[in-house]
Structure 1
Amino acid sequence: MTDLPDRWQPRGRTARLALWMGWLCLVALFVWCWQVMNRNTIWLFVQDAPRQAADIGSRMIPPRWSYLPELMGPLWDTLNMATLGTLLGVILAVPVAFCAARNTSPLPLVLRPAALFVIVASRSINSLIWALLLVSILGPGLLAGIIAIGLRSIGFIGKLLYEAIEETDPRQVEAVTATGASRAQVLNYAIVPQILPAFWGISVFRWDINIRESAILGLVGAGGLGLKLQNSLNTLAWPQVTTILLVILATVVLSEWVSARVRAAII
């Protein structure tokens, strides 16, 4: 008869020791991060923050509704920036997604790693960073914002789309291939119909996200509502800031509603 332990343990001794060491390392990391944060933090300013926030909040109320007509043009620019940027991102992301998917990549050893690198690079750099670089190259304006949103959208659309391509039913591909169809015909008749609902859903969802991002790209010179917000902040026109924030909030809520309705109708 084998010897049994006096008390059952969910983990072995080695696993428990590794778990405790993991917690110890996590606590040490937290303490180190706290010290790094405190190194450049002036706590007198932090203590005074509630009073400063209340003071600014009192200056922001009531909103300056007479400033609303001046925001219609920048609002239209923001919507155009988000729409054209999304369109650019879709155009660039579709071939990248097909090259990144295992079942559609024409050269898996060459094109697939390159496509995955493009997707990771696009997702790693925030749209504000793209806008800063493009404003420095192209100058301030909507063009820099459109390209920045397009470059940022490649990673989001490309990743979700290539995952949808890899999840297609292989039996449909085999059935079309058995008819003697070419590679292009297999893509057109077996793969594309399966991913179309996901494609439209991803595109609309990204458009909704890009409206939020385009609203702040003006802070770095890309135009739109963000430019008006930056000017109001620089002149300490707090009632105008409140009006701009309310317009951005209303735009985001409306775009979220439109996105949800469109995705529900498609999917």
Structure 2
Amino acid sequence: MTTTTWHKRTSSANLAVFTGWALALAFVSWAFQVMTQDTIWAFVSDAPAQFADIGSRMLPPAWGFINELWLPLWETLNIATLGTLIGTAIAIPVAFLAARNTTPSVRFVRPVALLAIVASRSINSLIWALLLVAILGPGVLAGIIAIALRSVGFIGKLIYEAIEEIDPAQTEALASTGASPAQVMAWGVVPQIAPTLAGVSVFRWDINIRESTVLGLVGAGGIGVKLEAALGTLAWPKVTLLLLVILATVIVSEWVTAQVRRKLI
């Protein structure tokens, strides 16, 4: 059994600790001043009253508005599902090109594939949607492509890491029997990463459900269009209903994801 022996700090150690805390507090103070330099504190002090006022206007929800939400909700589910499918279809070959043990060229092809993955992960879905709405016009198509482009980086990164972590003994055994590279890939690599691919794809679909609910705020279709319209007209009872519908959709997607992952993994 080991015992911890207490030792008194030296003067230089105490000075270093004090200096570290002083610098940390100074940095936090400076950061707070930068973040709040444009803050109007009269609005902040009035925020509880404004919150209570808007909260009172949001109740009860406009239940009669529910029939106008089924089609936008269906569009949202399509955006998330089709975007995930397209993103997965693109991410799989990109992942194989990015993995060290399957890429045809570590020096040339792998950096390009990694750049594609990083670029996809660096740009938020809303930014993709803004760009695509400007190019394609408003609508569901822009939302689907935005979700797909965002999904490529997420799925591609996790899949190429899974490819690099496979057991090489299986692929070597297949190669020693005279199997072609395509056969080694199909029977030695794919079965090892299949559970990861299934789990990651379902998990990304769950994330995309959340992200697709707000793409309509920039004109990319889905239930977000209704939310933006309700906020723009200060129709607070409709906003409440929309938030409840979005919450219910996310809860259902969580349940579906959990059930699918339990079956697949």
Whether these two folds match at TM > 0.5 is yes
Q: Distance in 2 between matches of 1:30 and 1:48?
A: 26
Name the amino acid aligned to 1:47.
Answer: S
The equivalent residue for 1:109 is 107
Residue deviations 1:118-164 (CA, integer Å, cap 9, x gap) = 11111111100110111111110001100000000011101111111
Q: Bigger shift: 159-168 or 21-30?
A: 21-30
Q: 2:238 aligns with which of 235, 240, 247?
A: 240
Deviations 1:230-267 (A, max 9, x none): 00011111000001110000000000100000001000
1:27, CA displacement in angstroms? 3.0
Taking a change above 3 Å as real, the CA distance of residues 14 and 127 of structure 1, as seen in their structure-2 partners, is farther
1:143-222 correspondence runs (5 A): 143-222=141-220
| Cα distance in 1, alignment partners of residues 12 and 91 from structure 2 | 47
Give the Cα–Cα distance (whole angstroms) in 2 for the partners of residues 16 and 57 of structure 1: 51
- Counterparts in 2 of 1:258 and 1:32: CA distance versus 1, 3 Å: same
Corresponding position of 2:138: 140
Q: Which amino acid aligns with 2:190?
A: V
* Counterpart selection for 2:51 from 50, 53, 56: 53
CA gap of 1:25–1:133, structure 2 versus 1, over 3 A, is: farther
Within the candidate set 73, 83, 86, 2:84 is matched to 86
What is the rounded CA distance, in whole Å, between the counterparts of 1:105 and 1:27 in structure 2?
A: 48
CA–CA distance in structure 1, aligned partners of residues 37 and 163 of structure 2: 49
Q: For residue 41 of structure 2, what is the aligned residue in structure 1?
A: 43
**When the two structures are superposed, what TM-score results if normalisation uses the length of structure 2?**
0.93
Q: Select the residue among 26, 29, 34 that pairs with 1:28.
A: 26
**1:185 to partner: Cα distance:** 1.3
How far did residue 99 of structure 1 move? 1.0
Q: How many residues align?
A: 261
Aligned Cα root-mean-square deviation (Å): 2.0
SS in 2 for 1:222: coil
* Cα separation, partners in 2 of 1:141 and 1:34, compared to 1, 3 Å: same
Cα distance in 2 for partners of 1:119, 1:144 equals: 20
Query: How far, CA to CA, are the matches of 1:14 and 1:119 in structure 2?
Result: 47
Q: Which runs of no fewer than 5 residues in structure 2 stay unpaired?
A: none
Match of 1:3 in 2: none
Match of 1:230 among 218, 228, 231: 228
| Aligned counterparts of 1:50 and 1:109: Cα–Cα separation in 2 | 58
- TM-score if structure 1 supplies the norm length? 0.92
Q: Which consecutive unaligned segments of at least 5 residues does structure 1 have?
A: 1-5
SS of aligned partner of 2:73? helix
Give, in angstroms, the shift of residue 199 of structure 1. 0.4
Match in the other structure for 2:249: 251
Q: 1:20 to 1:155 in 2, by over 3 A?
A: farther
Match of 1:118 among 116, 122, 145: 116
Going from structure 1 to structure 2, the CA distance change for 1:7 and 1:223 (only over 3 Å counts) comes to closer
| 1:266/1:233 CA distance change after superposition, 3 Å | same
Percent identical among aligned pairs is 65
Distance 1:23 1:192 in 2: 52
Q: Distance in 2 between matches of 1:173 and 1:28?
A: 56
Stretches (4+) displaced over 4 A: 6-9, 11-25
Task: Tell me the equivalent position of 2:97.
Answer: 99
Instruction: Classify 1:107/1:233 alpha carbon distance in 2 versus 1 (closer, same or farther; 3 Å).
Output: same
Q: CA deviation at 1:28?
A: 3.2
With over 3 angstroms needed to count, the CA separation of the structure-2 counterparts of 1:129 and 1:15, relative to structure 1, is: farther
